[in-house]
Amino acid sequence: MDKINTHKYLNRRNRPDFSEYLSHFTKDGDFCNGEQTLELLDFRTMSAFEKLYSILEMKTLKTSSMPWTKTQGICFTECPWSSLLVHTKQYSSYGIGFTKEFIYREGGSPVFYMRFNLLQAIIRNIQDNKTKENLLKLLTPYSPDFDTDYAKRKHKRVDYTHEREWRMCKDLQFEYEDIAFLIIEKHEDYDKLPQLFKDSFDRNKIIVMNNYRLVEEFWPVHIK
């Protein structure tokens, strides 16, 4: 076994907290940051399912304005399966998944969680606007509960490290065969998905979150 295959084997088999997949979840109503382009205005009133339907119909994930940095991006999470039910409470039970390899090939990468003072220093001190813009697209402020300076620095606490976020800074166009899995809330949602998608996508790659909730109810391992 060569070194590359050994590395993949170790990641997959010996790291239960590690995944080779990323998920993008939709949410009801407005975005995390209200300042969006006119192109996305229709999305602001859609339900999470309607957004997922539109994404599948267009075969496109569009960027939206990120909080704090006001740059454009698409957010993905690598949160482990054991945390997924908690994650869906914050967003929704509707999501689309891709391999890391696909997202990386299309220009995505992990974000950097950065202390507020360092983020502010970058904004103040980097003179080259293009460099600053490219950096800001991949930065998220970090101010956990044990941050004692948040009050005097006049910012709120922010901690999204549990999401293990990846981000793309341009629209993502894909084909149905690029999708690794689709997450829906209940079985009935499948019938409402675009017909062209249902005709070409393997139904075995559909994850129904209500099934997972039932498993957790009978055998509560992850959710307390």
- Domain map (residue ranges) of the chain: 3-111+161-218
Per-residue confidence at 156, pLDDT binned at 50, 70, 90?
confident
Q: Which tens digit of pLDDT belongs to each residue from 92-142?
A: 999 999 999 999 999 999 999 998 888 888 888 888 888 888 888 999 989
Centroid of chain to Cα 62: 13
CA–CA distances in Å: residue 72 to residues 3, 19, 26: 37, 25, 16
d(CA 116, CA 35): 21
Structure confidence at residue 48 (pLDDT): 95
| Mean pLDDT over each residue of the chain, to the nearest integer | 85
The proportion of the chain whose per-residue pLDDT surpasses 70, expressed as a percent, equals: 83
Query: Average pLDDT of 178-200?
Result: 97
Per-residue confidence at 154, pLDDT binned at 50, 70, 90?
low
Q: Higher pLDDT residue, 156 or 53?
A: 53
Structure confidence at residue 211 (pLDDT): 93
Question: Across the chain, where does the E strand assignment appear?
Answer: 21-25, 60-61, 64-65, 72-77, 95-99, 109-110, 112-115, 139-142, 165-168, 172-173, 181-184, 206-208
Centroid of chain to Cα 69: 17
> Contacts for 184-191 with beta carbons within 8 Å, 24 or more apart?
184/49, 184/52, 184/93, 184/94, 184/208, 184/209, 185/49, 185/92, 185/93, 185/94, 185/209, 185/210, 186/210, 189/49, 189/94
**Structure token pair of residue 14:** 């010996």
Q: Is the dihedral of CA 189, 194, 199, 200 positive or negative?
A: negative
Smallest Cα–Cα separation from 96: which of 66, 71, 75? 75
